[in-house]
């Protein structure tokens, strides 16, 4: 008996593994074949193993080929789709500039915007066609197999898949709210928040690269689903377990399917983990719950369709939409990462300890320095202010357009988090030391500063 490892390109899922393994196992001289999408390798065993030419011929009618995965794709269509995605990003940026996405989603708080909601929904759609399909798809197919799709049982199949997806939406919403509550309790701010945003950006960037398929090695990596999960799912409708001596019926198959949907929250799907981090960073149960529920809603059409058409789970449609979405995801990752880095203050150019006079947005009113800052689509206007040390300050925040910047983290000023979403916010503080004190929005994407200086002698004379 001889074993041989054959590198294969193009495998990304369990169905790919099955197709390649079956093609090789059918060849003369091959006793067994086992494929791994994670490693991109097929192990064949037999007394007289076929040549590379014979193996290549066996894959001629499939999208898979002999060879080692490349770090960068050499397929011209991939790069054409990436260029199309870059154009889509440019159009999206123009649309955002023309249309203010800062209006809040009705009933949401803590800065959840229409732009964020649409992005999370889109992320859910992309997830249901890629990594989530690789993980959750195994459970969906198991549920589909548990109910035969004849006309007499079609209603049961629909109900089972509906229960599974409903469980995902409700469960993700509740668990997302818990994540937001944890973030609120632990007050994730300042440097920890900035680090969390950078982690989100890196995770999102990897997902985007995988979707674009510009790196076949990254695109092919998948986390395998434990087989025990699939066996458990098959019992959701009372299907006989082949390893059991008698049928294992359950009294509440649809509740079991819904519970399985809730449990998918804990699967290591990269898309899910990105939104989980966003929910945790939000510091709000309402926002965290809304983010996770919206993500689950986005995954529902794809997963439901797969469940109802299990025999054709592998779509032959072009992957162009996913590649375009991947470029958009990478752009989002860049913006998020830049915001996180900005939150650390490493790239901040706001404020100067060498300032010699107050800025024009500071006026004296009844012995107080009153600073007015407008909050718009592009952040804080003006972003910087210069005030005098040991003199009381009243800071007035006014949201012209509601968005992320309406939640202001001002720990450096001793003010904590300021919420200017609904009304103007006035906060009082008295700086006791000279220097530069920075503030930023809740996501770290917009920032500003207070520079505290000594009152010049000429200004003191004028004031007296």
- pLDDT tens digits, residue range 146-204? 544 444 456 767 888 888 899 999 999 999 999 888 865 555 566 676 777 677 677 76
Same domain, 87 and 33: no
Same domain, 307 and 423: no
Q: In the prediction, which pLDDT does 269 show? A: 61
What is the pLDDT confidence band of residue 115, given thresholds at 50, 70 and 90?
A: low
Q: In the prediction, which pLDDT does 72 show? A: 85
Same domain, 125 and 221: yes
Q: Decide which of 395 and 377 is more confident.
A: 395
Same domain, 327 and 207: yes
C-beta of residue 395 within 8 angstroms of C-beta of residue 414: no
Tens of pLDDT along 329-370? 788 778 767 766 765 655 555 666 678 889 999 999 999 999
What is the pLDDT confidence band of residue 287, given thresholds at 50, 70 and 90?
A: confident
Query: Does the structure show a pLDDT above 90 at 394?
Result: yes
Same domain, 229 and 294: yes
Q: What whole-number distance in Å separates Cα of residue 156 and Cα of residue 148?
A: 9
Exposure string of 448-457, with b = 16+ CB inside 10 Å and e = fewer, is bbbbbbebee
Same domain, 18 and 36: yes
Q: How many CB atoms neighbour CB 267 within 10 A?
A: 18
Q: Decide which of 329 and 261 is more confident.
A: 261
Tens of pLDDT along 223-233? 444 545 545 55
**Looking at residue 42, which CATH number applies to its domain?**
3.30.70.100
Own/partner pairs, 233-237, CB within 8 angstroms, 24+ separation: 233/139, 233/142, 233/143, 233/146, 233/257, 233/260, 234/142, 234/143, 234/145, 234/146, 235/146, 236/143, 236/146, 236/160, 236/260, 237/143, 237/146, 237/147, 237/156, 237/160
Residue 141 domain-assigned? yes
Domain enclosing residue 44, as ranges: 2-66
Query: Does the structure show a pLDDT above 90 at 280?
Result: no
Number of domain units in the chain? 3
Q: In the prediction, which pLDDT does 430 show? A: 97
Query: Does the structure show a pLDDT above 60 at 128?
Result: yes
Same domain, 319 and 204: yes
Tens of pLDDT along 71-101? 788 878 889 989 998 998 888 777 756 654 4
C-beta of residue 408 within 8 angstroms of C-beta of residue 446: no
**Looking at residue 377, which CATH number applies to its domain?**
2.60.40.420
What is the enclosing helix (H) or strand (E) of 45? strand 41-46
Same domain, 340 and 375: no
Query: Does the structure show a pLDDT above 80 at 390?
Result: yes
Q: In the prediction, which pLDDT does 257 show? A: 82
Same domain, 267 and 386: no
Same domain, 193 and 256: yes
C-beta of residue 338 within 8 angstroms of C-beta of residue 443: no
Residue 351 domain-assigned? no
């Amino acid at each position: 008996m001889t074993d041989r490892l054959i590198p294969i390109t193009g495998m990304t899922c369990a169905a790919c593994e099955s197709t390649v393994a079956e093609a090789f196992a059918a060849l003369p001289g091959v006793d067994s074949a086992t494929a791994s999408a994670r490693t991109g390798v097929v192990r064949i065993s037999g007394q007289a193993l076929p040549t590379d030419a014979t193996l290549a011929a066996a894959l001629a009618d499939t999208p898979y080929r002999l060879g080692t995965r490349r770090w960068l794709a050499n397929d011209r269509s991939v790069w054409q789709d990436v260029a199309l995605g870059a154009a889509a990003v440019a159009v999206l940026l123009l649309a955002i500039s023309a249309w203010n996405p800062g209006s809040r989603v009705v009933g949401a708080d803590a800065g959840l915007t229409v732009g964020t909601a649409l992005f999370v929904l889109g992320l859910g759609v992309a997830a249901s066609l890629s990594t989530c399909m690789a993980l959750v798809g195994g459970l969906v197919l198991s549920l589909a197999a548990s109910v035969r799709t004849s006309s007499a049982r079609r209603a049961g199949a629909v109900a089972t898949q509906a229960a599974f997806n409903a469980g995902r939406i409700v469960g993700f919403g509740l668990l997302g709210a818990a994540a937001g509550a944890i973030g609120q309790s632990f007050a994730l701010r300042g440097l920890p928040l900035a680090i969390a945003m950078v982690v989100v950006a890196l995770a999102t960037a990897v997902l985007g690269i995988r979707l674009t398929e510009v790196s076949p090695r990254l695109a092919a990596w998948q986390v395998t689903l434990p087989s025990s999960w699939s066996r458990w799912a098959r019992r959701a409708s009372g299907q006989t377990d082949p390893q059991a001596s008698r049928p294992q019926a359950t009294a509440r198959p649809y509740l079991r399917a819904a519970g399985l949907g809730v449990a998918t929250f804990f699967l290591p799907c990269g898309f899910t983990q990105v939104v989980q981090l966003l929910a945790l960073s939000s510091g709000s149960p309402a926002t965290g719950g809304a983010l996770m529920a919206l993500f689950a809603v986005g995954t529902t059409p794809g997963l439901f369709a797969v469940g109802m058409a299990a025999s054709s789970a592998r779509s032959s449609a072009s992957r162009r939409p996913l590649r375009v979405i991947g470029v958009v995801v990478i752009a989002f990752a860049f913006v998020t990462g830049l915001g996180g880095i900005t939150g650390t203050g490493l790239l901040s150019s706001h404020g100067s300890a060498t300032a010699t006079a107050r800025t024009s947005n500071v006026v004296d009113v009844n012995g107080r320095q009153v600073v007015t800052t407008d909050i718009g689509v592009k952040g804080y206007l003006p972003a910087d202010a210069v005030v005098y040390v040991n003199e009381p300050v009243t800071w007035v925040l006014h949201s012209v357009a509601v968005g992320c910047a309406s939640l202001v983290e001002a720990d450096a000023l001793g003010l904590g988090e300021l919420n200017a979403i609904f009304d103007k916010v006035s906060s009082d503080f008295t700086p006791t030391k000279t220097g530069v004190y920075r503030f930023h929005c809740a996501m770290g994407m917009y920032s500003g500063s207070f520079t505290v200086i000594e009152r010049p002698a000429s200004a003191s004379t004028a004031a007296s």
